[in-house]
Amino acid sequence: MFQNVGEMLVLFFRTLAALPLAWRQRQKVADQFFEIGNASLLMVCILSFFIGSVIALQTGPLLVEHGLASYVGGVVGYSICRELAPVMMAILIAGRIGSSMAAEIGSMRVYQEIDALRTMNINPIHYLVLPRLIALSAALPLLVIFAILVGWLGGAFVCVANTRIEISFAAFLSALRDVVEISDVANGVFKSFVFAVIIGVVSCHQGLITRGGPRGIGRSVTKAVVNSIVLIVIFDYLLTRALQK
């Protein structure tokens, strides 16, 4: 995958250079934005609720046993907003949205639609990549904020309902407030912004370099998802390291 890193960087900087044209493409940005929201909101909801639940389920009984019940809210809240929500949502979006971007652009490539754009002197980066990248890097952070809240709710739900934990909702929330600061949420949201750029660039790039027929499109889709996820995890480490308090 790494032979493409240079090309992806070029694509990224070309798209950045086209940012002043974003206003012209606002209609397409909006379309993409709502498409992303539509396609993923329900899944984000389910996924983040259960992630919150399972973290509470894993850590809650252990902490309670050791007399650390007042930490449960903090542990759950902190890990969700700094790590789990941004990474899991990014992986979800890579699978749901990155794949469809690669497929759509890839089939436009294979069926000469991109050639047709170029003969009309329409830059495929301005027309296709720019709106997708902007929409995705706006949508994913918003989805992550949403996922954090739902994840907390899922954690709280398990803490209240599970007989081995049994912490009240108010206690969970106040423990969470003691530990989690607004900067922690911002940290997670910032990460998700970087992940969105990664997903957008990797997927659009794979779409644009698609070769061959339907099989080529399939190959591009797979690569877009796998490469996005690998890069997300690598960047997750690097960002965590760089942003450590």
Partner 1 sequence: MNPPTSNQQGVSVQVRGLHKSFDGQEVLKGLDFDVQAGEIFVIMGPSGSGKTVLLKHLIGLEQPDAGDVLIQGQSIQSPEVMGRFRMAMVFQSGALLSSLTVGENVGLYLSEHRLMPASEIARIVAEKLEVVGLKGTEDKMPNELSGGMKKRVAIARALVIEPQLILYDEPTSELDPLSAVVVAEEILHLQERIRVTSLVVSHDRDLAFGVADRMAVINEGRILTIGTPEEVRRNPDPLVQQFLRADFKHSNERKEHEKHA
The site for partner 1 (CB under 8 A) is made up of: 24, 104, 107-108, 111-113, 115-122, 127
17 vs 122 by CB, closer to partner 1: 122
Output 15 or 227, the one with its CB closest to partner 1.
Answer: 15
Tell me the closest approach of the beta carbon of residue 82 to partner 1, in angstroms.
Answer: 38
Nearer to partner 1, 84 or 97 (CB): 97
Closest CB to partner 1 among residues 128, 165: 128
Shortest CB 111 distance to partner 1, Å: 7
The nearer residue to partner 1, 97 or 143, going by C-beta atoms, is 97
Q: What is the dihedral of CA 25, 200, 119, 108, to 10 degrees?
A: -110
Residues 1, 119 contacting (CB under 8 angstroms): no
Classify residue 170 as left (phi > 0), alpha (psi -120 to 50) or beta: alpha
CA 227 to chain CA centroid, Å, is 14
Question: What sign for the dihedral angle of Cα 58, 180, 79, 94?
Answer: positive
Q: Among candidates 223, 216, 224, which has minimal Cα distance to 199?
A: 224
Collapsed DSSP state (helix, strand, coil) of residue 89:
helix
Residue 145: CB atoms within 10 Å: 18
The distance of Cα 68 from the centroid of its chain, to the nearest Å, equals 32
CB 81 to partner 1: min, Å? 37
| Nearest-approach distance from CB 28 to partner 1, in angstroms | 11
Cβ 43 to partner 1 shortest distance, Å: 23
Cα separations (Å) of 183 from 28, 217, 226, 238, 245? 32, 41, 30, 18, 10
Nearer to partner 1, 32 or 40 (CB): 32
Shortest separation between residue 147's beta carbon and partner 1, angstroms: 29
Show Cβ contacts of residue 134 under 8 Å, excluding neighbours closer than 6 positions: 22, 25, 29, 32
